[in-house]
Structure formats: C-alpha cells, structure tokens
Amino acid sequence: MDWLYRISLISGPLPVILTVLGVLGGVWLLGSNVRWYYRRAVPIAGLIALVIMIAVWITVEKVIVPFPDPIEMSIYVWIGIGIYALLLLGPRIKAGGTIAKAVVSVVATVLVIVTAATQI
C-alpha cells in the first residue's frame, strides 16, 4: 500500500491518464443517437453551465472577494466544465435507454468531474 501514498496527483502519468479518461467521458456525454439530445439537452445544459460559471465568477471576484489576488479564469472554466457534465447526466441517461448506458454515463460524468478537479 505504500505505492499508493507516493502517487502524485499533480505530476507524473496520473494527471495525463485522468485527462484522457475525462476527455473520453466528455465525448460519451456529448454523443447520442437521439435527435432531441443534440437539439435541446446539449445547448440548454451548456447555457445553464455558462450562466452558473459567470454567477460564481461575479460572486467570488466582485461581491465576496475572499482572496486579495484574482483567481485565474481557467479555474472558473474547469468549474463550468464540471457543472456542464453534471447537467448532461440526466438527459444522457434518458437518451441512452438502457441500464448499461446509464452506468456508463455516470462513470463518464465522474471522470469529467475528476479531470476538472485535477486541472484546478
């Protein structure tokens, strides 16, 4: 078990592996053969994630200001990507239709969120 404590989440092969798995999870969440998913779910979830991300940015940078220095915009973008994955989970499960695809969708969402967290 000692090898587990020596794994770095910041450098080495683990962040690269997590990023690749997160991209694959994102591709799964964005892909479906149902027409309404592309026309309604993907754009609406993207718009809601963008609004939430901007609201978080305004709250942290303009209203609360918990830190004297501004937080990098890339952090807010990764937060938005994680929110987008969460918002796509429900419609992707409905578009999948089977329990196996629902499980894959949950795993894909977790991978995208873990990837976003490691990039922050």
Q: What ranges do the domains of the chain cover?
A: 36-119
| pLDDT tens digit sequence for 6-30 | 877 778 888 899 999 999 999 999 9
Q: What is the DSSP letter of 72?
A: P
Task: Kindly report the pTM of this predicted structure.
Answer: 0.91
Q: How far apart are CA 67 and CA 80, in angstroms?
A: 20
From residue 67, how far is each of 49, 52, 56, 111 by CA, in Å? 24, 20, 14, 29
| pLDDT tens digit sequence for 77-117 | 999 999 999 999 999 999 998 999 999 999 999 999 999 99
